[in-house]
Amino acid sequence: MPTLWESQRGRESKEAAQARHLEAKLLCLRCPLLDACEAMVCHYEKLDQGIDGVVAGRYSTAERLYNKTYIVRCLGCGATLHPQCAQTRRNREGLRVHAGEQLCTDCYPRMSRAARKGHR
Ligand SMILES: [Zn+2]
């Protein structure tokens, strides 16, 4: 049996994995280490190293877009998020790039947890 946080495994249905991941995400959002976990996954995403399954209450955007297993969309605007390591290609290709917390670079300054608490 996979842990709550692991990606879809073996014969597990997509629906079962999604239900398990919802439970994982809810636990993450209540965890006192959420911001530290987000900083950790962002570090790896900037290096184009994804983390399997759910981490910091979301899927890692590194590689997700390209393997088509999990298309991650911005929680602010719904745009398909390109990994943080794609930052330098943003303007040239018009990509919406992930800035952390499953938000694009346009939405993050207004909608990140820190911004909503009134301090950045
Ligand atoms: Zn956005």
Which pLDDT belongs to residue 15?
93
Rounded to the nearest angstrom, the distance between the alpha carbon of 112 and the centre of ligand 1 is 11
Which pLDDT belongs to residue 9?
85
Rounded to the nearest angstrom, the distance between the alpha carbon of 67 and the centre of ligand 1 is 21
Rounded to the nearest angstrom, the distance between the alpha carbon of 40 and the centre of ligand 1 is 21
Which pLDDT belongs to residue 57?
95
Which residues lie closer than 8 Å to 50 by C-beta, 6 or more apart? Answer: 44, 60, 61, 62, 63, 64, 83
Give pLDDT tens digits for 35-86: 999 999 999 988 888 888 899 999 888 766 655 566 788 999 998 888 888 7
Give pLDDT tens digits for 92-111: 566 788 899 999 999 999 99
Cα gap 115→37, rounded to integer Å: 18
Task: Say yes or no to pLDDT of 90 above 60.
Answer: no
Rounded to the nearest angstrom, the distance between the alpha carbon of 54 and the centre of ligand 1 is 20
